Amino acid sequence: MKEISILGFGNMGKQITALFYLMGYEVKIYNKSPICIQDCDKFIKILSKKLDFSAFEKGSMQVIKELDKITRCIVVESLEENLELKLHYITQLKQNHNQIFSNSSSFSVKDLDCALLHFFNPIFIPLVEYSHDNILLKDLEKIGFYLLHSKTNRGALGNLLLFHEISTFFKMIEVWNYPYEDCQKIYDLLYDKRNIFNIIDTIGIELCDIICQNIKEQDPSFYHPKIFKKALSCGILGKKNKTRLATLFN
């Protein structure tokens, strides 16, 4: 059976685990704090309905309690978006001859000193960004994923495009003083009611703030919306705690 290890069991770690389990991999999961492997079940059900896994038999899932037990393996890192934390674990895993890929939303391969394999949330969006060819890509292609080769910038392509859009939307409100209602009306009439706020709530406001910060570090001209800090100070996190960014404008 094909093997893969997942480092981190947050929202994306659970989804990545479910994805590779359905593609027939023996998935080993490491998380610093105790986890319940059954937390993947809802993602397995959702993915089974959204993507075609008929070419694969289901794999297996196993919790690994010691990081040193992961050796000579393909590892997908899915920790929180904290560079110091990521590098701490990536360095350890490299010592055990593992092939490491990061699911980072905003750090570059140069920052991480490892390859990129970035999935989107929710993971049934059939798009994956990668920096280096690897054996996982063929299986992902079989279930309909579009493989997008990433360059060395922070945010790769998908998040760089998305967060420049988010940045511009809030720059119109915060800098140019356009009413929120007018900005949303533009989206309603010109862009088929595309809702920036729903996208942000799904990603998570804390992560959006971090991604903007990391992009701005590389590109000082990027506008970092102030609304995220205001939301966090009010306890508004998005879907994570069933709150909505748009309530700040109501």
Q: In what order do the strands lie in the sheet with 99-102?
A: 60-64, 25-30, 2-7, 74-77, 99-102, 115-119, 127-130, 146-149
The tens digit of pLDDT for each residue in 222-244 reads: 999 999 999 999 999 999 999 99
Predicted local confidence at residue 189, as pLDDT: 96
Q: Is the dihedral of CA 180, 181, 184, 189 positive or negative?
A: negative
What string of pLDDT tens digits covers the 250 residues of the chain? 899 999 999 999 999 999 999 999 999 999 999 999 999 999 999 999 999 999 999 999 999 999 999 999 999 999 999 999 999 999 999 999 999 999 999 999 999 999 999 999 999 999 999 999 999 999 999 999 999 999 989 999 999 999 999 999 999 999 999 999 999 999 999 999 999 999 999 999 999 999 999 999 999 999 999 999 999 999 999 999 999 999 999 8
Say how far residue 208 (Cα) sits from the centre of its chain.
Answer: 11
Predicted local confidence at residue 37, as pLDDT: 93
Point out which residues pair with 2 in neighbouring strands.
25
Say how far residue 187 (Cα) sits from the centre of its chain.
Answer: 25
Predicted local confidence at residue 2, as pLDDT: 95
Q: How far is CA 202 from CA 11, 98, 184, 218, 249, in A?
A: 11, 32, 18, 25, 18
**Strand, coil or helix: 76:** strand
Q: Using DSSP, how many helices (H) and how many strands (E) does the chain show?
A: 10, 8
The tens digit of pLDDT for each residue in 131-164 reads: 999 999 999 999 999 999 999 899 999 999 999 9
Predicted local confidence at residue 130, as pLDDT: 98
Predicted local confidence at residue 160, as pLDDT: 97
Closest-CA residue to 171 (of 222, 126, 125, 136): 222
220 token code pair: 């000082």
